[in-house]
Amino acid sequence: MRFTKMHGIGNDYIYIDCMESEPESPDTLAREISDRHTGVGGDGIVMICPSDKADFRMRIFNADGSEARMCGNASRCIAKYVIDQGLTDRTDLTLETLSGIRRLMARKGSDGKVESVTVDMGRPEVGVVDTEVALPDGSRHRLTAVSMGNPHGVIFTDDLSDAMVLGHGPELERHPMWPDRANIEFARTDAPDRITMRVWERGSGETMACGTGACATLVAAATNGLAGRKAEISLPGGRLTIEWLPESEGGHVMMTGPATEVFTGTYIRN
Ligand SMILES: N[C@@H](CCC[C@H](N)C(=O)O)C(=O)O
């Protein structure tokens, strides 16, 4: 099976061109091929498929085989893939996801390849705001729930240590407050337009970046009065610019960041 390894600020997936056919059991494939010791290694797989509603369709599976409804970093990488591979000659595209249709606007660099992409991530849905969650170890965390088409719990804290992220992320992901687990963001507001965060992703563990997570964090920060509606979000793998447009302009969240191809290869399924 041919694949392309790509990443969006370190959030790495194995991209499979499914314009002709889809692999069997993509959930099992995602678990096998994402393994960093016995597979290619990645945070999951992304399938680029034809669509009858948009220019292309995305399916994304986390490293544990669960299918996700949306992925910000993969949306940018798909724009790069389909444009650089000549599957389209347009740079303003639509992408069907399980959470609806998203608009991708790509910019090319001097080498003619896509360098950065802005994604219209749609309207966020804010759930509980600044609610206390208690864990069995006695720790208490205040979180704000935001859906960016997938579920996020954002915790504002100055403690971005491993003890916090790796120690509490797994339990918070599976807290009974979520019907279907959630992605957990640990964020510190450095200024009204600058936020630093780490993310514990549902189904993949800590990743270098999460596009939907960065959007959810900006929305949670603005909702809690901790930031304005536009900020640069720094993640372990790099930076994204996130803007939550005013209600008068539709209230959508716009995400801008790079997309990078790493290598291509052939995976032999046993
Ligand atoms: N890394 C992604 C989100 C991937 C899916 C997520 N783990 C989920 O299960 O919802 C991003 O860049 O948005």
Q: For 68-98, how does the pLDDT look when each residue is reduced to its tens digit (9 = 90+)?
A: 999 999 999 999 999 999 999 999 999 999 9
What average pLDDT does this structure show over 102-107?
A: 98
Full 3-state SS string of the chain: CEEEEEEECCEEEEEEECCCCCCCCHHHHHHHHHCCCCCCCCCEEEEEECCCCCCEEEEEEECCCCEECCCHHHHHHHHHHHHHCCCCCCCEEEEEECCEEEEEEEEECCCCCEEEEEEECCCCEECCCCEEEECCCCCEEEEEEEECCCEEEEEECCCCCHHHHHHHHHHHHCCCCCECECEEEEEEEEECCEEEEEEEECCCEEECCCHHHHHHHHHHHHHCCCCCCEEEEEECCEEEEEEECCHHHCCCEEEEEECEEEEEEECCCC
Assembly ipTM: 0.99
Q: What is the pLDDT of residues 29-48, one digit of tens each?
A: 999 999 999 999 999 999 99
Given a cut of 90, is residue 269 above it in pLDDT? no
- Position 270 pLDDT exceeds 80: no
Ligand 1, CB within 6 Å, residue ranges: 11, 62, 68, 71-73, 150, 183, 201-204, 207, 210-212
Main-chain phi, psi angles of 80, to 5 degrees: -65, -45
Q: What is the pTM of this model?
A: 0.98
Tell me how far the alpha carbon of residue 183 lies from the centroid of ligand 1, in angstroms.
7
Residues 151 and 112 in one domain: no
If you measure from the C-alpha of residue 68 to the centroid of ligand 1, how many angstroms do you get, rounded to a whole number?
Answer: 7
Nearest of 131, 130, 124, 142 to residue 216 by alpha carbon? 124
183 is in an annotated binding site: yes
97 and 62 in one domain? Answer: yes
Do residues 20 and 111 both lie within one domain?
Answer: yes
For the CA of 75, the nearest atom of ligand 1: 12
Residue 73 Cα: closest atom of ligand 1: 12
Phi, psi dihedral angles at 227 (to 5 degrees): -155, 170
Residue 195 CB burial class (10 angstroms; 0-12, 13-18, ≥19): buried
From the list 18, 71, 77, 215, the catalytic residue is 71
Mean pLDDT of the chain: 98
Q: Are residues 98 and 186 in the same domain?
A: no
165 pLDDT band, cuts 50/70/90, is very high
Report how many domains make up the chain: 2
Tell me what the mean pLDDT of segment 55-78 comes to. 98
Q: How far is the CA of 97 from the CAs of 56, 67, 100, 113, 220, in angstroms? A: 9, 11, 5, 24, 23
* Residue 152: CATH number of its domain: 3.10.310.10
Q: What is the CA radius of gyration of the chain?
A: 18
Are 171 and 205 contained in the same domain?
yes
Which range marks the domain in which residue 55 is found? 2-119+258-266
174 and 75 share one domain: no
- The per-residue pLDDT for range 194-249, each reduced to its tens digit, is 999 999 999 999 999 999 999 999 999 999 999 999 999 999 999 999 999 999 99
Distance (angstroms) between ligand 1 centre and the Cα of 111 equals: 30
Assess whether 113 and 133 both reside in one domain: no
Of the chain, the percentage scoring pLDDT greater than 90 comes to 99
User: Is pLDDT at 118 greater than 90 in this prediction?
Assistant: yes
Q: Are residues 134 and 220 in the same domain?
A: yes
The yes-or-no verdict on residue 59 having pLDDT over 80 is yes
